[in-house]
Structure 1
């Protein structure tokens, strides 16, 4: 994420915080699954298929599939990174619909698929040569970047490269803390707050002209 502008970095930090916020709510309400951390769901499914049988892994694997669908949708509506309002707007709509379902069908676990799709879409904001340049919703890629940047610091190749991945990880972790606190208001209410913030971000991005230049 070294070639992301300062404005792009601020957007990434905001959305990373929202991702941590939403993931914390999903984790609490599913009883230990994730809506943005698909490595965790994959491991959970692998363990549970042995311990409890194939039926138990349906939800974690469905979350993985929904996340991938969200990435596909985000890439399509965002025109491969040229229009960043599209993926954020799609994410906002999915989170809002999930919040509505939490009031109407509080015992329905499949509303979490909408959250996973929403988080997948957010990862399509910065695309280049078929890959995501910024890991918005998952910490593993960000921590790899942090480790490489620290290696660059030790070898004298860069004194500042570590700052951005550390900030992005901090925003995700901090968002999770806020999300866990907001969940005390109720899962639906907490998700509506996230949907409102995402909608505001999408409106702000839509006001800017589309560009294929770097963010």
Structure 2
């Protein structure tokens, strides 16, 4: 995260907030699964396999699979950095909007959460470099690892400020989860459409921001 400009950091924090918001809604509406935290879904699939049989593990495993598909789709996008990022965020906005509309029309259509997982996976490809995602936008584990490493750097004197950015990103995810849980309680099926509108706004912002620090993926 240290190589990202301040405008890029602001964009990342906003996306983290939206991701936490969407993940909380997905968690509530699926009854305990995640659309961005695939470690949790993997554990849940293993537990469900023994508790209720193979069929009950299909949904969490399906979310893992579609998350990976979303990452692959985002990574396959080519073109200038700003154009590629715009495509990814705009595509995620469309996917979330479709999921929200389907949820209003057919609340029992659980396949829509696979679409959400794919959208969240794609968002993690915004900062690709040397074949890896430089910033874990939609999941907290990688961010907390970065925070722990930065705290070690603080203790050893290698860096006094590296901890700030991962803490901010984790905070945005956590705050988004709080807002998302409240949004689901107050807005019900309309809450995801709010998230889609927010992602649409971010897509417009991405098209206007020039990010100099991270080169496009080869």
Segment drifting more, 186-195 vs 143-152: 186-195
Residue 181 of structure 2 corresponds to residue 180 of structure 1: yes
Segment drifting more, 108-117 vs 180-189: 180-189
State the distance in 1 between where 2:65 and 2:143 align: 22
Q: What is the aligned partner in structure 2 of residue 77 from structure 1?
A: 77
* Runs of at least 4 residues off by over 4 Å: 78-82
Q: What is the aligned partner in structure 1 of residue 194 from structure 2?
A: 193
* CA displacement at 1:81 relative to structure 2: 4.7
SS of the residue aligned with 1:84? helix
Q: How many aligned residue pairs are there?
A: 214
* CA displacement at 1:108 relative to structure 2: 1.2
SS of the residue aligned with 2:108? coil
State the distance in 2 between where 1:12 and 1:78 align: 20
Does the 8 Å contact 2:25/2:184 carry over to 1? yes
Does the 8 Å contact 1:49/1:56 carry over to 2? yes
| TM value normalised by structure 2 | 0.94
Closer/same/farther in 2, CA of residues 10 and 192 from structure 1, 3 Å limit:
same
Q: What is the aligned partner in structure 1 of residue 43 from structure 2?
A: 43
Q: What is the aligned partner in structure 2 of residue 133 from structure 1?
A: 134
User: How do residues 40-119 of structure 1 correspond to structure 2 at under 5 angstroms?
Assistant: 40-77=40-77, 79=79, 81=81, 83-119=84-120
* CA displacement at 1:80 relative to structure 2: 8.4
Does the 8 Å contact 2:86/2:204 carry over to 1? yes
Does the 8 Å contact 1:91/1:119 carry over to 2? yes
* CA displacement at 1:174 relative to structure 2: 0.3
How much is the aligned-residue C-alpha RMSD, in angstroms? 1.6
Where do 5+ consecutive residues of structure 2 fail to align?
A: none
State the distance in 1 between where 2:78 and 2:14 align: 18
Where do 5+ consecutive residues of structure 1 fail to align?
A: none
* CA displacement at 1:188 relative to structure 2: 2.3
| TM value normalised by structure 1 | 0.95
Closer/same/farther in 2, CA of residues 36 and 80 from structure 1, 3 Å limit:
farther
State the distance in 2 between where 1:116 and 1:187 align: 19
Q: What is the aligned partner in structure 2 of residue 32 from structure 1?
A: 32
State the distance in 1 between where 2:147 and 2:79 align: 29
Closer/same/farther in 2, CA of residues 6 and 208 from structure 1, 3 Å limit:
closer
